[in-house]
Amino acid sequence: MTAATPAPPMIKAAAVNKFFGDLHVLKEIDFEVERGQVVVVLGPSGSGKSTLCRAINRLEPINSGEIAVDGKPLPAEGKELAALRADVGMVFQSFNLFAHKSILDNVMLAPLKVRKVSSTEARKKAMELLERVGIANQADKYPAQLSGGQQQRVAIARALAMNPKVMLFDEPTSALDPEMVQEVLDVMTDLAKEGMTMLVVTHEMGFARRAAHRVVFMSEGEIVEDSSPEEFFTAPKSDRAKDFLGKILTH
């Protein structure tokens, strides 16, 4: 790439369609996320938010359209896919840590197996990341010995261990007790400030207002609004967004 070529968007989806049987769950989705941008995805249950995340990570095949990460179209399968998938870190509602491995081993595993780094290097990096998410002192424990908030922070450290270009978060705080939500949001906010490109599905409106550069509102498989948080929360344009905000802000 020459210096004159503008950098491609970090995530680009063009005319993406996805069906589950007859159900059309992503309808001609067009959207881009610039590098360093934090985009919060909102929308009612069943609107396609998780499917969009999974499609970006190729955990879910799409029926038509194109998805590219950092300018590279996602191949359907094979070695190239494994490499591109490693560029995209994903954190889910359920932490999915390996129960029989220590916290440290959970974070070291993928770099050792996929990136083939030395164990000394993997350990050093894992400890740095555990430090960064505030749980280095728990490194030798097992997941079940940690609180939900701590486990989710391990899951974030584990995703970061692969040096991803993008982080996808699908309702990372929805399974947590209320008192643990903030500690996870704080880690995410720090990550955003450091310039990580992030796509975040969340019901945490405070996070959306404070940390997001953009809010994307989905309804029935479509992107209905794509605006600044300020604009979305104070002057939503569509009836669907107004209805959604009415429900979520008053409950």
Taking the complex as a whole, the smallest distance from the CB of residue 72 to Mg ion amounts, in Å, to 26
Write out the binding residues for ligand ATP, residues 174-233 only, by CB under 6 A: none
138 near ligand ATP (CB under 6 A): no
Of 47, 50, 151, 202, the residue at the interface with Mg ion (CB under 5 A) is 50
Among 198, 191, 250, 251, CA closest to 39: 198
Give the shortest CB-245-to-ligand ATP separation in angstroms. Answer: 15
Distance CA 96, CA 155 (A): 8
C-beta separation of 168 from 188 below 8 A: no
236 binds, among ligand ATP, Mg ion, none (CB under 5 to 8 A by kind): none
The binding track of 90-129 with respect to ligand ATP, each residue x by CB under 6 A or -, is ----------------------------------------
Write down the residue that tokens 């989710």 correspond to. Answer: 152
CA distance 117 to 110: 9
Residue 42, Cβ density class (10 Å: 0-12 exposed, 13-18 middle, ≥19 buried): buried
Q: How far is the CB of 221 from Mg ion (least distance, A)?
A: 13
- Residues contacting ligand ATP: total by CB under 6 A: 11
Give the range of 28-36, 48-56, 117-125, 181-189 binding Mg ion by CB under 5 A: 48-56
Q: Are 91 and 135 in contact (CB under 8 A)?
A: no
Binding mask 40-79 for ligand ATP (x = CB under 6 A): ---x-xxxxxxx----------------------------
Q: Would you say the C-alpha torsion 243, 220, 72, 166 has a positive or negative sign? A: positive
CA distance 131 to 80: 32
- Structure tokens, 200: 């975040």
CA distances from 97 to 150, 210, 242 (A): 11, 29, 37
Binder of residue 46, out of ligand ATP, Mg ion, none (CB less than 5 to 8 A by kind): ligand ATP
**Which tokens sit at 188?**
């995410």
Please, what is the minimum distance in Å from the beta carbon of residue 170 to Mg ion?
6
Q: How far is the CB of 41 from ligand ATP (least distance, A)?
A: 8
Tell me which residues touch ligand ATP (CB under 6 A). 20, 23, 25, 43, 45-51
